[in-house]
Amino acid sequence: MELLYINSWSEILIGSVIGMVVVFVALIILVLLFDFIQYLVLNSSKKKMVKAGKKVEEMVDVSANEIAAISMALHLFINEMHDEESNVITIKRIERRYSPWNSKIYGLNNTLSR
Amino acid sequence: MRDLKYKIGILLIILGLFLPMGLFAQASGETSLIMDSLTKFWNNTAFANFEFKYLVMIVIGIAFLWLGIAKNWEPLLLVPIGFGILVGNVPFTEGYQIGIYEKGSVMNILYSGVLTGWYPPLIFLGIGAMTDFSTLIANPKLMLIGAAAQLGIFATFIGAYALGFTPQQCGAIGIIGGADGPTAIFLASRLAPELMGAVAVAAYSYMALVPVIQPPVMRLFTNSKERLIRMKPPRQVTRFEKIAFPVIGLLLTTFISPSAMSLLGMLFFGNLLKESGVTERLAETARFALINIVTIILGLTVGASTQADKFLTVDSLLIFGLGAASFIVATAGGVLFVKFMNLFLKEGNKINPLIGNAGVSAVPDSARVSQEIGLHYDKTNHLLMHAMAPNVAGVIGSAVAAGILLSMLT
């Protein structure tokens, strides 16, 4: 493939314009394609509704506020779930044999008090 | 107080030991050996190799850490980069495989992912697995704002050439205007590896400074009436559209700009993992573990690549200046393009120009700026969802622009 070689003012300017145009063209094609897909998707769902005996006017998007409220409710529900506990709190006493290890008495200095 | 006395005493004893050692050495004629060892040790310390420029970089590194930790500005980027700057600017004697530019050193091995450009595609995989393209699919025309904001890239490309950089270096500098760190690193590694440190640090610094740079530009180019425009909530998007988007997006964009394949391929692949609904484990790994690991290593090594003797140059200062200008031009490009689009749109379908800034691909910071500025003028006008569309389109746009620059300048 023959690549462009840029090394002068005119080539820099032309290269920049071409670059910008190509970015636009790539995204414009993507826009058109997704507009077309949107058209197809909406049309097919309208046809499904008609087949199911419903009116096309009944096809309404759930409003953003409702979606936000449902999402928040789900979030709170999922995050606040935890195991049922017995609610009995006990402190188990453990008997230990005496050990000088970490004994407080060996860690203190007996200083003279005046 | 008593503790302090003990410590001073121990210090004096240690110092006192040197005196008999010295006397012994003098008596036995071994002075030169001990002195040589001590001199050699001293010469290897950072104190002996210290120069003022390292201190400058260390201060910059601490400033990055402060901005990340205290100000909470992009901490995920600024903390690794800031610490990396400290790591890279501890002066050392060359030849011991310590520095990031010394072949075979640990830092050099980690840096190879930056130099050869394989970290950025992995980051794009994670970004793809995190990104929800629904708002973009629901309102495809917002994608064009993401294209308009790439004006910053090409304006900086021209500006850099005017300042005397080579065309390849201009491409690497221009991509800073895309406000996309991984893309900037990817392109710089291919076009001008010698500018990698400056380009990467400039791109990431300005991405962190998006909340500071963009608002004045947005206010400058909009009037009070435009700032209050309310946009229609986006429609719900079907699962089929969400799955089709990465497949069609990949084929279309890479057929136009194949050089961007490694970036866009990974971006759309990550998105397909997320949207397919059957590869949740892979998507989870891409958006958490993988991207986190790569971000840690990338941030640290990019920071460390700012070794003062290589980084503190006039070129770096020029790159920082051009980087700031590119962000301003990109923001203005996006905002002005929305105003241009509004000329052709019917009342009720108009777009709030405050989402124009989100065309630069600093995800999600620039969209957050749109939301905050929008709320400042109308407390009930939430623009975040709308701004996310040009924001993710900006990621695609900057990757396409990088591919074009790569194919033109390689």
pLDDT, tens digit, 9 for 90 and up, residues A61-96: 677 778 878 888 888 888 776 666 777 777 777 777
% chain A with pLDDT above 90: 11
CA B70 from chain center: how many Å?
19
For residue A26, give the chain B residue with the closest CA.
B253
Reported ipTM: the value is 0.81
* pLDDT at residue A82, rounded to an integer: 64
Which residue type does B289 have?
Answer: A
Which of these, B68, B84, B87, lies nearest to B76 by C-alpha position?
B68
For residue B255, give the chain A residue with the closest CA.
A26
Question: Under an 8 A CB cutoff, do B256 and A22 touch?
Answer: yes
CB atoms within 10 A of CB A9: 11
Nearest neighbour of B150 by CB, restricted to A18, A23, A63: A23
Question: Under an 8 A CB cutoff, do B408 and A28 touch?
Answer: no
Nearest neighbour of A12 by CB, restricted to B137, B161, B401: B161
Model pLDDT for residues A28-47, shown as the tens digit of each residue: 998 999 889 888 888 888 88
Question: Under an 8 A CB cutoff, do A23 and B401 touch?
Answer: yes
Do B100 and B209 form a contact (C-beta atoms < 8 A)? Answer: no
* pLDDT at residue B304, rounded to an integer: 93
Backbone angles phi, psi at B345, to 5 degrees: -100, 145
* pLDDT at residue A3, rounded to an integer: 46
How is chain B split among helix, strand and coil, in percent rounded to 5?
75, 0, 25
If chain B, 410 residues long, is cut into consecutive pieces of 10 residues, what is the mean pLDDT of each piece? 77 74 61 78 83 92 93 88 93 85 91 90 94 89 92 93 92 90 90 89 87 93 91 85 92 89 93 94 95 94 89 90 93 94 90 92 87 92 89 91 89
* Residue A1: pLDDT over 60: no
Q: Which residues of chain B are within 8 Å of residue A25 when distances are taken between CB atoms? A: 256
Eight-state DSSP code of residue A80: T
Q: How far A11 CA lies from chain B's nearest CA (Å)?
A: 10
Question: Under an 8 A CB cutoff, do B252 and A25 touch?
Answer: no
Would an 8 Å CB–CB cutoff place B247 in contact with chain A?
no
Torsion, Cα of A22, A24, A27, A29 (10° steps): -80
* pLDDT at residue B265, rounded to an integer: 94
* pLDDT at residue A2, rounded to an integer: 44
Q: Which residues of chain A are within 8 Å of residue B141 when distances are taken between CB atoms? A: 31, 35
Would an 8 Å CB–CB cutoff place B385 in contact with chain A?
yes
Q: How far B58 CA lies from chain A's nearest CA (Å)?
A: 37
Q: Residue A113, class by beta-carbon neighbours within 10 Å (0-12 exposed, 13-18 middle, 19+ buried)? A: exposed
pTM listed for this prediction: 0.80
Q: How far A23 CA lies from chain B's nearest CA (Å)?
A: 6
Q: Which residue has the higher pLDDT, B233 or A27?
A: A27
- Cα A86 to Cα A83, A89, B40, B240, B266: the distances in Å are 10, 8, 69, 47, 49
Model pLDDT for residues A3-15, shown as the tens digit of each residue: 455 678 888 898 8
Would an 8 Å CB–CB cutoff place B235 in contact with chain A?
yes
CB atoms within 10 A of CB B322: 25
